[in-house]
Structure 1
Amino acid sequence: MKNEDHVKIELQALLDKQPLIETKSCSIYKVPDGIRQSNAEAYTPMAVSIGPLHHGDSRLQKMEDHKLLYYKHFIQRSKASLSELLSCVRDFEPRIRACYSEKIDHLGVDEFVKVILVDSAFIIELFLRDEWTKGDVIFSQPWLLTQIAYDLLLLENQLPFFVFENLYNLALLLNDEHHHEFPSFMQFALSFFTYILNFKKPTEPPHGSSIVHFTDLIRNLYLKQPPCTREHKPLVLGYSAYELSEAGVKFKVKNPSSNSSLMVDLEFKNGTLEIPHIRVDDGTEIWLRNIVALEQCHYPHEHYFIDYVTFLGQLVNTNKDADVLIKAGIIDRMVGGNYETSVANLFSDIRKNITVTNASVDYIKLCDGLNAYYNHPWHSKMATLRRDYFTTPWKTVASIAGIVLLILTIIQTVCSILQV
């Protein structure tokens, strides 16, 4: 009986315990261990911590002084007082906490509000500055500025977008009759990332209310609006880029003259696969991995970037496959190292330990079209012919010589028959 009472007390304590954070309000997540293990560095800030999840990391303490300096300049340029800005963050404190999938137990209310205000002020001030700011320690070191920009795209290193917008509007647009002529925070954010990281600028910025943070912002830059429908069907491409090229498929950069082409908008028509240009470097893996992690956690049924890396992971399996896309100008060629191998591994590594529930109808049609093209009797025979007789210069010469010899033999035979 006593044991039952003891168990009852423990079970009641579980009922009284503060519940886990509601997943519906979450938008900032710790990357799941299964995804993180393939490349932990791609999800970890290297220069600056933003928000509570990496706050206090000893590796990032050097940047804290720079953050405070930027915070000071932001307060000086603000039309609102420090008390007003502080009250703004304090009012949002419960809502901000609810955006994190992890419970922020290590920061009390006052410390939490302080972290949010200082980090928000640092980023807004960073966006307002440019390379011509004299004596600026960050802009005078391009490598540091680039590293900070990539750190701002990490899923674990985010602040809610609404915090920036509210502080920005309060600090710079308060009682300003000409505020409609002043760029929005969204425009400053887009300008920063498109300039520093060379992202393609959209024709129109994403709608502010739909953006939850910077990782989400970059994801939205490359999505069709509205997104296409989805089906509960696996995405299966049966043949790689090299095999498809052997069957006669042509590869082409989609919209090469446009600066706003949608990265995930691929198309196959008239035997030509069109893929938007992508620059592959160390930074590409960082932002692409974090968008995929965001989709896995936040958009489990609308994972358009996961569709993209799944398709390219099946399209590019080997160095030969990567070379097809590099020669077509779809992927930039980098100097030094075994670039083809890194490209071939990139997309297959990113999709490791990713769970999918459906696929974009556009991508399903894309795979079906390519599979049907390869399996057409004429195209499959051409692929076999190229693979068996024209894979190397020596085989090509030998095959041509054999064909010429066969033709001459036929001609000689015909001539002999005619002479009889």
Structure 2
Amino acid sequence: MVAVYNKDSWYLITLKLRETLEANLPKTSTSTASADLLLDQQPHHQQPQHLPLRNQHQDPASTSLRVVILNDEAEIKPIEEGRPDEKTPSRGEPDWVISIRDRLDQARQDDAACPWSKLSIYRIPHYLKDGEDKAYVPQIVSLGPYHHGRKRLRQMDRHKWRALHRVLRRTRHDITLYLDAVKELEEKARPCYEGQIALSSNEFVEMMALDGCFILELFRGVAEGFKQLGYPRNDPVFSMRGSMHTIQRDMIMLENQIPMFILDRLLGIQLGDPDLKGLVAKLALRFFDPLMPTDEPLTQSDRNKLESLGHMTTFDPLSDYQSGLHCLEVFRRSLLNLGPKPVPGNWIKRWSNTNRVADKRRQQLIHCVTELREAGIKVRKQKTDRFWDIKFKNGVLRIPRLLIHDGTRSLFLNLIAFEQSHFDCSNEVTSYVVFMDNLVNSPEDVGYLHYCGIIEHWLGSDAEVADLFNRLCKEVVFDINDSYLSTLSVEVNRYYDHRWNTWRVSLKHNYFSNPWAIISLIAAVVLLLLTLAQTFYGV
């Protein structure tokens, strides 16, 4: 039995008699065909004069109805104007296809909202972390949006507000001056971070101004003295003691960066020159100097000699300033711009595809120290302040001094992560770390390099140093064709493959290692000559 009621252009259709529908209708029917067939079964006086499905002069407030029979059950659904019914066969798409289209639309919006060309502060890929969260995640202070609001990092927030208060009191500025300046740069700063930042405009501006002033107070305090800025000698944060080393290590992490142009603007306002550039980079290098992986003390004669050979240049952050993205990138440039920029070798391009994909199986640059010594290759320390400047000539491998401390692992890991993530970045640091990883396989290798004065470490044992190098590039896929040490590695391996060099070393080790072995060898040679002479005269 079917009952149809008409009231204010709304109709209630009650469907009964399931057996009748199964006998006369298909399993799925739509719209007017179903409605007409059902209405034809009713008495003439119950049929309405105008059906809403066919009404061409319907009131805009009214809604058309549609009868849909799915799985032997009838439903009454409104038809929205200008939008086809997503569940009807007229569109010909099931629910899961519609869901895919919705996700693609969301992906289109995300792609349009993330200009990848401006991205410079990256999230660490999960495959690089591999249990090294402590090396990538700040332990005391959060800077920027990635770790903003974490419960265990909130304790430093009160010191950030103290720093901002000190800046305003010293400069006699109003806070709106800094907020307005950061507000102007918000659209430029947000694309520097990866993904959508779940902060409102006001929250983002407040965070940038607060964190930026905190960073600048630390930079200026190290350069000028915290006492000159008005901080007491026993301040728990703004002093050259206590947690300063941990703060430095947190501030050099890739996920804990503030765009350099934000810091430039904030420092320019403090000094009365809003367009000031370059000074923050100099202050950053001064602040992060204790994290440098080398502190080779060069005498004045050594410096004069290197300068005469053109091997030393002074790093100027003002030169090529446009590449200054953040503090980690400036620190990396300072490591590599102390001398001529290393150039990858072209030795393998004659048979390798230029666009070859990096292969995890082809990361062996060189043999370990123990094997090189067995092949007659000597390892010596090179006097230079560029830790990456490795040389090989006439069987002697010269490596600069490297200082390893408890912050070296985090420093190298974040530099490698930046080189792996940033497209417009070379891979000198990664090349060096992979080279040292190949060179050090055991505590004995570390012990010999320490004996040569190449590795100086503050860790517990040589085994910890060997483990450090062996884990730095554990998940890094690196192409030796793109390494500035590729040509040197070929020369070393060519020397290593000569058997005469191995025989000569074996002879020297077995028969010329001490005076008694030399005397024994001479006696054996003399005895052999006398025996040959006696045999000759006997014949």
Kept in 2: contact 1:159–1:213 (CA 8 A): yes
Segment drifting more, 271-280 vs 287-296:
271-280
Secondary structure of the equivalent of 1:124?
A: helix
CA-CA distance at 1:325 after TM superposition: 1.5
Q: Deviations over 1:303-358 (max 9, x none)?
A: 111111111111111122222221111110446x32x2122222221111112356
Indicate which of 27, 44, 54 corresponds to 2:147: 54
5+ residue gaps, structure 1: none
Instruction: Output the TM-score relative to the length of structure 2.
Output: 0.68
Kept in 1: contact 2:428–2:484 (CA 8 A): no
Indicate which of 249, 257, 281 corresponds to 1:186: 281
Q: State the distance in 2 between where 1:116 and 1:185 align.
A: 16
What letter is aligned with 1:113?
Answer: V
CA-CA distance at 1:289 after TM superposition: 0.6
Segment drifting more, 25-34 vs 187-196:
187-196
Kept in 2: contact 1:30–1:156 (CA 8 A): yes
CA-CA distance at 1:89 after TM superposition: 0.8
Task: Give yes or no for the alignment of 1:345 onto 2:462.
Answer: no
Indicate which of 426, 443, 452 corresponds to 1:302: 426
CA-CA distance at 1:362 after TM superposition: 3.4
What letter is aligned with 2:415?
Answer: I
Structure 1 stretches (4+) deviating beyond 4 angstroms? 195-202, 224-227, 229-235, 383-387, 396-402, 414-420
Cα distance 1:299–1:350, how it changes in 2: closer, same or farther (>3 A)?
A: farther
CA-CA distance at 1:28 after TM superposition: 1.0
Kept in 2: contact 1:146–1:197 (CA 8 A): no
% identity of equivalent residues: 28
CA-CA distance at 1:37 after TM superposition: 1.1
Cα distance 1:272–1:96, how it changes in 2: closer, same or farther (>3 A)?
A: same
Q: Root-mean-square deviation (CA), in Å?
A: 3.2
Indicate which of 271, 284, 294 corresponds to 1:172: 271
Task: Give yes or no for the alignment of 1:15 onto 2:105.
Answer: yes
Kept in 1: contact 2:293–2:403 (CA 8 A): no
Kept in 2: contact 1:186–1:205 (CA 8 A): no
Q: State the distance in 1 between where 2:195 and 2:498 align.
A: 52
Task: Give yes or no for the alignment of 1:366 onto 2:494.
Answer: no
Segment drifting more, 16-25 vs 28-37:
16-25
Kept in 2: contact 1:300–1:356 (CA 8 A): no
Segment drifting more, 230-239 vs 22-31:
230-239
Q: State the distance in 2 between where 1:319 and 1:390 align.
A: 27
CA-CA distance at 1:272 after TM superposition: 2.0
CA-CA distance at 1:168 after TM superposition: 1.0
Q: State the distance in 2 between where 1:81 and 1:270 align.
A: 66
Task: Give yes or no for the alignment of 1:407 onto 2:525.
Answer: yes
Residue matched to 2:129: 36
Residue matched to 2:476: 354
CA-CA distance at 1:302 after TM superposition: 2.1
Residue matched to 1:228: 343
Secondary structure of the equivalent of 1:96?
A: helix
Q: Deviations over 1:184-221 (max 9, x none)?
A: 12211111111576866972233332111111122111
Secondary structure of the equivalent of 1:31?
A: coil
Secondary structure of the equivalent of 2:110?
A: coil
Q: State the distance in 2 between where 1:235 and 1:305 align.
A: 15
What letter is aligned with 1:344?
Answer: A
Kept in 1: contact 2:250–2:256 (CA 8 A): yes
Segment drifting more, 295-304 vs 281-290:
295-304
Indicate which of 83, 91, 97 corresponds to 2:176: 83
Secondary structure of the equivalent of 1:115?
A: helix
Q: State the distance in 2 between where 1:86 and 1:329 align.
A: 51
Instruction: Output the TM-score relative to the length of structure 1.
Output: 0.85
Segment drifting more, 217-226 vs 94-103:
217-226
Residue matched to 2:314: 203
Cα distance 1:371–1:195, how it changes in 2: closer, same or farther (>3 A)?
A: closer
Kept in 2: contact 1:45–1:151 (CA 8 A): yes
Kept in 2: contact 1:80–1:170 (CA 8 A): no
5+ residue gaps, structure 2: 1-88, 297-312, 347-353, 357-361
Task: Give yes or no for the alignment of 1:241 onto 2:369.
Answer: yes
What letter is aligned with 1:115?
Answer: M
Task: Give yes or no for the alignment of 1:25 onto 2:118.
Answer: yes
Query: Which one has the bigger helix percentage?
Result: 1
Kept in 2: contact 1:165–1:185 (CA 8 A): yes
Residue matched to 1:331: 455
Q: State the distance in 1 between where 2:476 and 2:274 align.
A: 48
Comparing both chains, which one has the higher relative contact order based on Cα–Cα distances under 8 Å and sequence gaps of 6 or more? 1
What letter is aligned with 1:129?
Answer: G
Indicate which of 201, 209, 222 corresponds to 1:117: 209
Secondary structure of the equivalent of 1:274?
A: strand
What letter is aligned with 1:167?
Answer: L
Q: State the distance in 1 between where 2:532 and 2:392 align.
A: 46
What letter is aligned with 2:525?
Answer: I
Larger radius of gyration: 2
Kept in 1: contact 2:218–2:238 (CA 8 A): no
Secondary structure of the equivalent of 1:61?
A: helix
Cα distance 1:63–1:248, how it changes in 2: closer, same or farther (>3 A)?
A: same
Cα distance 1:8–1:114, how it changes in 2: closer, same or farther (>3 A)?
A: same
Secondary structure of the equivalent of 1:268?
A: strand
